[in-house]
């Protein structure tokens, strides 16, 4: 009976901390970063023109996602933002505006709203996971058996220290570069008190690991890594998830939280988590939101139309909103008329 109460208290605490986290960086919105973007298709050809203005937190990510080279940036005073947006919309196929969520009232006109980050959560009794489970066991299960992988559960701080130094930090830096958000060792030690470190072994060699926090009937994946890039290619990371799901079902776990992802269907991290039945949910911890303004009549490349936007509390690819494939939706004011831009 106390578990729902504790879960509710924790949810309120997280929301309160998220609100304070939005208030603290408000001063950085006084001067925003503005620049031009080149958007390339999968073949590498220039497919669309874009512009960005905002706090700059997601700018390096969008440059990589779009294959856009670094371009000259300039400071845009907050009071000049409406003029910048009007000018950018005239010369660019799409304009991205990233602002503190507390300033969302500045998103005016027909635009779609996306998140800088979302969470991906797999519910073990959900349709999305149940649709995937047979393929998971047939695909990754066979690979695990073929490679001779085994797993161990540990709460040893010495194991955690080695994992942090040799597995997690090098992997995160190599995988995500400057976009990497590396958790502190103290946070992982705290998670270990009620959670655990899952290790994947191949004979007498430890090849990958995953720190898992347990919150009653829910698991939260905090940090993953492997001892070499070769182990990732051979399935060391997927083996972590495979064994975790086996353990979770035996332990009566209801949901597995894969934590943060970028909300784009073509993003590699998002796609990999979706293969495990993980669905996008809003994350109130991150403080910025992103408005996308589309030029009327323009044909956008897939990397743009695959961006997830929110409407009615749900996620849809931008391409579906533009083509109005969901005519039954009660679009909020910022989305009304957006489909007519095509």
Across the strands, what pairs with 151?
200
Which among 62, 243, 52 has a CA at the least distance from the CA of 143? 243
Find the angle CA(210)-CA(248)-CA(173) to the nearest 5 degrees.
20
Cα 209 to chain centroid distance, Å, stands at: 21
pLDDT on residue 137: 87
Structure tokens at 75: 């400071």
What share of the chain in percent tops pLDDT 70?
85
Crossing angle, helix 127-147 and helix 236-250, to 10 degrees? 120
Query: Tell me: the pLDDT tens digits for 13-65?
Result: 666 666 666 777 677 779 999 999 999 988 878 899 999 999 999 999 999 99
Q: What is the pLDDT of residue 339?
A: 47
Considering the four listed CATH numbers 3.90.1150.10, 3.40.630.30, 3.65.10.10, 3.40.250.10, the one that applies to the domain covering 119-281 is: 3.40.630.30
- Map out the domains of the chain as residue ranges: 2-117+283-341, 119-281
Cβ(113)–Cβ(107) below 8 Å: yes
Span of 133-137, 210-214, 232-236, 305-309 with lowest mean pLDDT: 232-236
Name which of 118-127, 222-231, 305-314, 318-327 the model is least confident about.
318-327
Q: What is the pLDDT of residues 133-158, one digit of tens each?
A: 999 888 888 889 988 999 999 999 99
Lowest mean pLDDT among 135-149, 172-186, 204-218, 321-335: 321-335
**Any residues with CB less than 8 A from the CB of 303 and at least 6 apart, and which?**
39, 40, 41, 42, 65, 66, 264, 266
* Mean pLDDT for the chain overall: 87
Would you say how long the chain is, in residues?
342
Strand intervals (E) in the chain: 31-40, 46-54, 74-77, 94-100, 112-115, 118-123, 149-154, 196-202, 205-215, 218-226, 255-261, 279-281, 288-294, 308-311, 314-317
pLDDT for residue 74 is more than 90: yes
Tell me, rounded to whole angstroms, the distance of Cα 264 from its chain centroid: 8
Structure tokens at 253: 């776990």
Distance in angstroms (rounded) separating the CA atoms of residues 70 and 90: 22
- pLDDT band (50, 70, 90) for residue 288: very high
- Lowest-pLDDT range of 20-24, 124-128, 285-289: 20-24
Q: What are phi and psi of 97, to 5 degrees?
A: -125, 115
Q: What is the pLDDT of residue 325?
A: 47
Q: Are 168 and 225 in contact (CB under 8 A)?
A: yes
């Amino acid at each position: 009976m106390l578990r729902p109460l504790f879960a509710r208290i924790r949810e309120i605490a997280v929301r309160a901390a998220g609100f304070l986290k939005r208030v603290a960086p408000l001063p950085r919105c006084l001067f925003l970063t503005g620049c031009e973007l080149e958007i390339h298709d999968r073949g590498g050809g220039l497919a669309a023109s874009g512009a960005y203005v905002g706090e700059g937190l997601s700018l390096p990510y969008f440059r990589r996602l779009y294959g856009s080279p670094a371009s000259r940036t300039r400071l845009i005073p907050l009071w000049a933002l409406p003029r910048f947006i009007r000018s950018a919309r005239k010369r660019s196929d799409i304009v991205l505006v990233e602002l503190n969520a507390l300033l969302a009232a500045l998103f005016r006109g027909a635009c779609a709203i996306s998140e800088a980050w979302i969470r991906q959560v797999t519910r073990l009794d959900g349709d999305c996971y149940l649709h995937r489970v047979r393929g998971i066991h047939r695909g990754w299960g066979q690979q695990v058996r073929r490679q001779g992988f085994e797993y161990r559960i540990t709460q040893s701080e010495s194991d955690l220290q080695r994992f942090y130094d040799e597995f997690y930090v090098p992997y995160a830096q190599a995988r995500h570069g400057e976009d990497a958000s590396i958790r502190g060792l103290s946070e992982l030690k705290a998670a270990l008190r009620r959670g655990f470190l899952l290790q994947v072994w191949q004979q007498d060699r430890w090849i990958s690991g995953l720190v898992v926090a347990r919150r009653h009937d829910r698991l939260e994946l905090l940090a993953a890594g492997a001892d070499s890039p070769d182990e990732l290619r051979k399935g060391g990371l997927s083996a972590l998830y495979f064994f975790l799901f086996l353990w979770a079902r035996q332990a009566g776990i209801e949901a597995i939280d894969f934590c943060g992802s970028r909300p784009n269907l073509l993003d590699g991290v998002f796609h990999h988590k979706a293969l495990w039945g993980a669905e996008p949910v809003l994350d109130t911890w991150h403080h910025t939101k992103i408005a996308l303004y589309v030029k009327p009549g323009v044909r956008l490349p897939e990397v743009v139309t695959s961006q997830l936007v929110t409407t009615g509390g749900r996620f849809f690819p931008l391409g579906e909103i533009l083509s109005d494939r969901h005519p039954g939706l009660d679009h909020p004011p910022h989305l009304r008329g957006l489909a007519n831009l095509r």
